[in-house]
Every structure is written in C-alpha cells, then in structure tokens.
Amino acid sequence: MNSTSMSSLGVRKGSWTDEEDFLLRKCIDKYGEGKWHLVPIRAGLNRCRKSCRLRWLNYLRPHIKRGDFEQDEVDLILRLHKLLGNRWSLIAGRLPGRTANDVKNYWNTNLLRKLNTTKIVPREKINNKCGEISTKIEIIKPQRRKYFSSTMKNVTNNNVILDEEEHCKEIISEKQTPDASMDNVDPWWINLLENCNDDIEEDEEVVINYEKTLTSLLHEEISPPLNIGEGNSMQQGQISHENWGEFSLNLPPMQQGVQNDDFSAEIDLWNLLD
C-alpha cells in the first residue's frame, strides 16, 4: 500500500512513509505518548492526531508482535470474545504485543469465518418445544456503560445505591423465573454474568457466589479501582466509567499503557467459561 492523498483540510492521508515513521518515533521518544493533538506539530508531520496515534499504537510502538497468532492466543481471543464481545481493546490488552486492530482483523478474517461455517442457528430457532438449547453460539455484547454513567453522578446519594441494589435483586430473582421479562434490565455486566451463568447453572455454589458478589458490589463503598493512576490524570475519588464495571478476571496482566478496566472485586470467570 503506498497511496496517499490529502484531506479537505490539507492533511496527509493514506500509507505512512519511512520518513514519517521516523519523525513520529522521534517525537514520541522525546515527549512520550499522549497529547496526541500536539504530536503532528511537535513531529512536524502533516497528519491528523488520530492518524499519528493509530500509527504509533498499531505499528511503531515497541514490542508489537507480528505474524500469525499462536494457538493459545486464538484460544484466549475466543474466550474473551465470548465474554466481552467486540471490545477489541480489552481483548488486546490481555494479549501481549497484539493491538486491538490486529485482534479485530484476525477475528474478522479468520475466526468469524470459522464461526460462520459452523452451523449457527438463529436464536429464535434455537429453542425447541421443550425449551432445550441445542448448539448455540451467541456473542455476549456488553452494553455501553450508560447504566453507570447515569448512576455514578449520584453515587453519594445512598438512595440511588439502594435503588440499584433492589433493581439487582429483582434481576436475580427474575433469573430464577425463566419467563421473566428482562426488557428494562440492561446494565452490561448483568448481561455478562447472566450469559456466563448459562454455563454454570448446575453449579449452585457458583450461582450463590454470583449473587453474593452482585449484592456486595452494591454495598461496597464506591471507590476508584485499585489500579488506576499510573500515567492517569484521574484524581482520587473520581470514578471513570472505563474503570468501573469490569470484573477482574484471572487473566494475564494488562499490558502497560493499556487501559485497565478491572473491577476491584475478584471473580474467577475463567471457571465460568469452561
């Protein structure tokens, strides 16, 4: 690929030249990552900040792994995708040296095709008369965290917390009645756990722990996740939606520089996925 063009604003588009890579690398070496809006000026590049950021993250950053994905990486992608949906940056964060773009591309070209060639029965056709579920490949797609966005603004208000707790308890009790409507219930992590729950319904102990955890989360004093702060301008007491709402998985540690979405409560969701 070697085609370049200019945007209407006179900014270069298309493939990066070696010279541009050199300038960008030099700039990042000197000033560090971040402040992307300043990078084009600092580096003397006629590129937009997005382009610079993307080029760095996907190509120039040190220790980026190229080449085929190994079997364990594929396995991890499949598991994490089942859990997280198309949240490529989160998935990539657990794969050292891989970028979100790599993972996304790999998924779209390899894994998606494989999944499509296996028989995927539309959801409405899955349930037979007995309500049994045959083969089902369903991606759990977490909802955006508006649930937290709207509630976090009022976290100092205990009523809000209690309301959510009640709400959560309802969800749990509804889960025990199969036909209960979930129409109005959509916090993404509820979805996430609920889908995990498909695999664990036989295991009462795990279900109980799940309920306990949900309840304890809602009782827990709202506090910033433990591991924010490194290179993060977040101030103490502030809550980032990105940092909220992810349960910490027993997975390989996040890559440096990758946003950590861990939630402070530890749940071994790996077991739930098996």
List residues binding DNA (CB under 7 A). Answer: 1-3, 7, 12-16, 34-37, 47, 49-51, 53-55, 58-59, 86-90, 100-102, 104-106, 108-110, 144-146, 149, 232-234, 238, 240-242, 258-259
Q: Which is nearer to DNA, 33 or 201 (CB)?
A: 33
Task: Give the separation between CA 161 and CA 166, rounded to whole angstroms.
Answer: 9
Comparing CB distances to DNA, the nearer of 12 and 175 is: 12
Angle at which helices 204-219 and 158-175 pack, to 10 degrees? 170
How far apart are CB 264 and DNA at their closest, in Å?
A: 16
Report, in Å, the least distance between residue 122 CB and DNA: 19
Smallest separation (angstroms) from DNA to the CB of 155: 13
The smaller minimum CB distance to DNA, of residues 172 and 222, is found at 222
The DSSP output letter for 268 is -
Q: Are 269 and 252 in contact (CB under 8 A)?
A: no
Cα distance between residue 47 and residue 29, in whole Å: 18
24 versus 269: smaller Cβ distance to DNA: 24
Here the tokens at position 98 are 């891989």
Q: How far is the CB of 134 from DNA (least distance, A)?
A: 26
Cβ-based nearer residue to DNA, 61 or 169: 61
- Output the smallest distance, CB 33 to DNA, in A: 7
Q: Are 82 and 140 in contact (CB under 8 A)?
A: yes
Burial zone of 78 (CB within 10 Å; 0-12 exposed, 13-18 middle, 19+ buried): middle
